């Protein structure tokens, strides 16, 4: 028997009720799609912040133990020039690697001559940083407001400062700052640097102390010809876990003791935000699924009680209990699928409208406004699609199982 | 008018069958121990006043209800030994049921309603449809194949229902007051159709009726009153 056609005709027969059910499924799908798309956008912006603005790249390689003890005994976790050269050559040889660049990080006090405050400087290789800030994050190659400086011959004193730091010290482009820090051996050292610009790191916790400085300047300040970390970006970031293990193996067999961290591991705010909003999203998914369940349950209950005599007739003619249940499950499933299918153009329309009108917002744990757009992810939408379909089937099953198990004579008695 | 078939092969056997309904804490004894043998090819009317137990008896015959006591055998199979699915399949293949109010499925047209009884067996659709069409032509509805029940008269609906009952080639058709919802002329036409089918296909027909004209035109009549079989001729 053609269950699909039969079920479809029955859906048309209870038209108004079917429309209400389909609309409920549709609204549920749109709600989850909008919230999900909105969260995906936030997550993606935070990701861009971590990878590009905070300069984490995709993967960070350091001497084993660095992330745990590097602050206590920095000199112990420093790579010398040969080691650095080896790491760079191994990583750059890997076909998955887009960029591999050395880094140093130093802490200290900075002064404009009148006032001083603490700073953290991330020392970057200017040519590499030009590439890094163009890293593709979820299809975007330009992270809003991102700046770096260019390498100049004979002069490595250019720096970019966090915008809040610039405000605090009232410093502008072209002016200079003094950085007070110490060498790897703990000897005090100082250098004057020139402001080449400022930018918002996107993270309020770093925006008031962040300074991007030239790697060669930092090497002098720190009295080293090596580096502390090597940052890499990948051609295909989705392969991050594979590349991570692969590179760790290659570096180990090259005789180096290394550890690797992903940008996610290094950006605590990203994890916190995605975890929190992930929970909210899941709770909402459950609530909406329950609403869909109850709606389909209610519709099916009405449909079934209206068609009790017909069910009795079908059973009397020779339809098995399981066939009756299947018929109603197909009816529920069709309504579920219709609701989801109807939701897709609506979601696309909402996404399109948001794109056109261009609203901006500041995501949580961030300080840069980003455009509010929906990032619709096909696998996640497919998941909701499957979930609602299952929910529709389950509620139809629960209702129809009861009626199918009823005595046939009792079903036939119903008058209408 | 067509002659009725005389037959002697035993098809159905009722032994001490009774049925008690529970209405709240009151018990209604609808059937009080019925012994009845029905032969293959029989054309039998069940007569009796309202509330005498005709429908109860026919529901038990149709295997859509179970007796409180007693034994029902069909072709020497004790029905109480069958599982629900076995009973359903047995009903589908061996028993055609015709209801007083036709009970056609409104979203299916005449042809589909008839084919439905075959489709539940998993028979390929085109086979179901061609067999349904053939039987609808036999009941005189060849021109109304694609009418939905809402667009058929009472007599036409009952013809569709009879076609649906017959399409699986059952050994017995059970009809509870098949003419009661029809005017008497149409009712007689339906009775004639059943007689004709009984004659040409040797299908057993068991039906209940209030109508004395019908009772008088049938040779085998079982009379029940107050849940007891009081007369059979
Ligand atoms: N589901 C039921 N629950 C309780 N009592 C019932 C039920 N069905 C039938 N009865 C009772 O059983 C008795 C026999 O009913 P049945 O329907 O078999 O009579 P009938 O001969 O078919 O009557 P009618 O000619 O009015 O159709 C009646 O007293 C009726 O009230
Ligand atoms: Mg009755």
Long-range contacts of B77-84 (CB under 8 A, 24+ apart): B84/A321
Determine contact, residues A212/A149, Cβ cutoff 8 Å: yes
Mean pLDDT, each 10-residue run in order, chain A (416 residues): 86 92 95 93 87 91 89 85 92 92 93 91 91 87 75 83 91 91 89 90 85 92 92 92 93 92 88 90 94 92 92 93 94 95 96 89 72 88 95 94 90 76
Looking at the structure, do residues A96 and A191 belong to the same domain, yes or no? Answer: yes
Residue ending a domain, choose from A233, A266, A299: A266
Give the C-alpha separation, A166 to B149, whole Å: 83
The domain segmentation of chain B, as residue ranges, is: 10-232
Kindly tell me if the per-residue pLDDT of B1 is higher than 70.
no
Looking at the structure, do residues A82 and A157 belong to the same domain, yes or no? Answer: yes
Q: Do B103 and A412 make contact, defined as CB atoms within 8 angstroms?
A: yes
Q: What is the pLDDT of residue A1?
A: 58
Q: Which residues in B lie closer than 8 A to residue A2 (C-beta atoms)?
A: 119, 125
Looking at the structure, do residues A251 and A285 belong to the same domain, yes or no? Answer: no
Substitution site in B46, B51, B208 for ligand 1 pocket (most atoms within 8 Å of beta carbon): B51
Looking at the structure, do residues A191 and A125 belong to the same domain, yes or no? Answer: yes
Q: What is the pLDDT of residue A416?
A: 54
Beta-carbon neighbour count of residue A39 at 10 Å? 20
Q: What is the ipTM of this complex?
A: 0.91
Q: What is the pLDDT of residue A334?
A: 95
| Banded pLDDT at B213 (limits 50, 70, 90) | confident
| Banded pLDDT at B6 (limits 50, 70, 90) | low
Kindly tell me if the per-residue pLDDT of B173 is higher than 70.
yes
Give the C-alpha separation, B219 to B233, whole Å: 7
Beta-carbon neighbour count of residue A252 at 10 Å? 12
Number of domains in chain A: 2
Q: What is the pLDDT of residue A415?
A: 63
Prediction pTM value: 0.82
Domain B10-232 adopts which CATH fold?
Rossmann fold (3.40.50)
Looking at the structure, do residues A274 and A400 belong to the same domain, yes or no? Answer: yes
Q: Do A319 and B88 make contact, defined as CB atoms within 8 angstroms?
A: yes
Residue ending a domain, choose from A266, A283, A304: A266
Looking at the structure, do residues A9 and A82 belong to the same domain, yes or no? Answer: no
The alpha carbon of B56 and the centre of ligand 1 are apart by a number of angstroms equal to 6
Q: What is the mean pLDDT of residues B135-157?
A: 91
Give the C-alpha separation, A155 to A211, whole Å: 17
Q: Give the residue from chain B lying closest to A321, CA to CA.
A: B85
Looking at the structure, do residues A215 and A287 belong to the same domain, yes or no? Answer: no
Q: What is the mean pLDDT of residues B40-58?
A: 92
Q: What is the pLDDT of residue B32?
A: 92
Give the C-alpha separation, A406 to A309, whole Å: 11
- Per the prediction, chain B carries an average pLDDT of 89
> SS3 string of chain A?
CCHHHHHHHHHHHCHHHHHHHHHHHHHHHHHHHHHHHHHHHHHHHHHHHHHHHCCCCCEEEEECCHHHHCCCCHHHHCECHHHHHHHHHHHHHCCCEEEEEEEEEEEEEEECCCCEEEEEEEEECHHHHHHHCCCCECCECCCCCCCCCCCECCECCEEEEEHHHHHHHCCCCCCEEEEEEECCCCCEEEEEEEEEEEECCCCCCCCCCEEEEEHHHHHHHHCCCCECEEEEEECCHHHHHHHHHHHHHHHHHCCCCEEEEEHHHHCHHHHHHHHHHHHHHHHHHHHHHHHHHHHHHHHHHHHHHHCHHHHHHHHHHCCCHHHHHHHHHHHHHHHHHHHHHHHHHHHHHHHHHHHHHCCEECCCCCCCCEECCCCCCHHHHHHHHHHHHHHHHHHHHHHHHHHHCCCHHHHHHCCC
Determine contact, residues A217/A181, Cβ cutoff 8 Å: no
Residue ending a domain, choose from A266, A283, A314: A266
Q: Which domain holds residue A165?
A: 55-266
B30 lines ligand 1 (CB under 6 A): yes
Looking at the structure, do residues A15 and A66 belong to the same domain, yes or no? Answer: no
B22 lines ligand 1 (CB under 6 A): no
Looking at the structure, do residues A230 and A283 belong to the same domain, yes or no? Answer: no
Task: Look up residue B175 and give its two tokens.
Answer: 């009809």
B105 lines ligand 1 (CB under 6 A): no
Q: What is the pLDDT of residue A212?
A: 92
Looking at the structure, do residues A71 and A40 belong to the same domain, yes or no? Answer: no
């Amino acid at each position: 028997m053609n269950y699909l056609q039969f079920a479809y005709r029955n859906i048309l027969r209870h038209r108004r009720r079917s429309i209400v059910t389909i609309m409920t499924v549709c609204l549920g799908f749109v709600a989850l799609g909008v919230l999900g798309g909105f969260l995906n956008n936030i997550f993606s912006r935070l990701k861009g912040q971590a990878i590009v603005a905070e300069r984490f790249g995709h993967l960070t390689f350091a001497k084993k133990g660095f992330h745990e003890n590097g602050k206590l005994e920095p000199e112990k976790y420093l790579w010398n020039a040969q080691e650095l050269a080896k790491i760079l050559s191994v990583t750059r040889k890997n076909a998955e690697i887009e960029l591999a660049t050395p880094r140093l990080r130093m802490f200290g006090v900075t002064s404009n001559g009148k006032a001083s405050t603490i700073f953290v400087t991330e020392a970057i290789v200017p040519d590499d940083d030009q590439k890094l800030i163009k890293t593709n994050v979820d299809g975007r190659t330009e992270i809003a407001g991102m700046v770096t400086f260019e390498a100049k011959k004979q002069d490595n004193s250019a720096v970019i400062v966090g915008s809040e730091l610039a405000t605090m010290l009232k410093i502008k482009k072209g002016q200079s700052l003094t950085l007070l820090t110490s060498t790897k051996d703990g000897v005090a050292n100082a250098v004057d640097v020139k402001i080449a610009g400022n930018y918002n790191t996107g993270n309020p916790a770093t925006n008031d102390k962040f300074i991007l400085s030239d790697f060669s300047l930092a090497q002098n300040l720190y009295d080293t010809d090596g580096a502390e970390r090597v940052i890499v970006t990948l051609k295909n970031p989705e392969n991050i876990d594979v590349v991570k293990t692969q590179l760790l193996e290659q570096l180990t067999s090259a005789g180096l003791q290394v550890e690797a961290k992903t940008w996610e591991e290094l950006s605590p705010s990203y994890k916190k935000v995605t975890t929190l909003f992930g929970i909210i999203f899941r709770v909402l998914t459950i609530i909406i699924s329950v609403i869909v369940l109850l709606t389909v349950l209610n519709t099916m209950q009405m449909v079934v009680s209206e068609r009790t005599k017909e069910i009795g007739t079908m059973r009397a003619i020779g339809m098995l209990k399981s066939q009756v249940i299947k018929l109603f499950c197909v009816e529920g499933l069709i309504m579920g699928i219709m609701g989801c299918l109807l939701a897709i153009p609506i979601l696309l329309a909402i996404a399109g409208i948001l794109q056109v009108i261009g609203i901006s917002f500041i995501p949580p744990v961030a300080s840069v406004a980003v455009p509010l757009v929906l990032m619709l992810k096909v696998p996640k939408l497919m998941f909701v699609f499957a979930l609602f379909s299952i929910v529709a089937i389950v509620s139809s099953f629960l209702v129809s199982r009861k009626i199918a198990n009823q005595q046939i004579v009792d079903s036939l008695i119903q008058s209408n | 008018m067509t002659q009725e078939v005389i037959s002697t092969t035993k098809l159905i056997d009722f032994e001490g069958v009774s049925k008690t309904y529970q209405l709240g804490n009151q018990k209604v004894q609808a059937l009080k121990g019925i012994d009845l043998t029905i032969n293959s090819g029989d054309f039998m009317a069940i007569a009796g006043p309202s509330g005498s137990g005709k429908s109860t008896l026919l529901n038990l015959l149709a295997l859509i209800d179970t007796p409180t006591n007693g034994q029902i055998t069909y072709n020497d199979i004790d029905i109480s030994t069958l599982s629900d699915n076995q009973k359903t399949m047995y009903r589908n293949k061996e028993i055609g049921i015709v209801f007083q109010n036709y009970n056609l499925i409104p979203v299916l047209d005449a042809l589909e309603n008839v084919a439905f009884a075959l489709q539940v067996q998993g028979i390929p659709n085109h086979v179901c449809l061609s067999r349904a069409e053939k039987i609808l032509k036999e009941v005189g509805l060849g021109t109304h194949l694609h009418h939905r029940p809402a667009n058929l008269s009472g007599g036409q609906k009952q013809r569709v229902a009879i076609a649906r009952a017959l399409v699986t080639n059952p050994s017995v058709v059970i009809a509870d007051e098949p003419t009661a919802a029809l005017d008497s002329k149409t009712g007689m036409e339906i009775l004639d159709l059943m007689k004709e089918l009984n004659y040409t296909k040797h299908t057993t027909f068991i039906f209940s009726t209030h109508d004395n004209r019908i009772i008088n035109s049938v040779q085998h009549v079982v009379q029940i009153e107050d849940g007891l079989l009081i007369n059979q001729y």
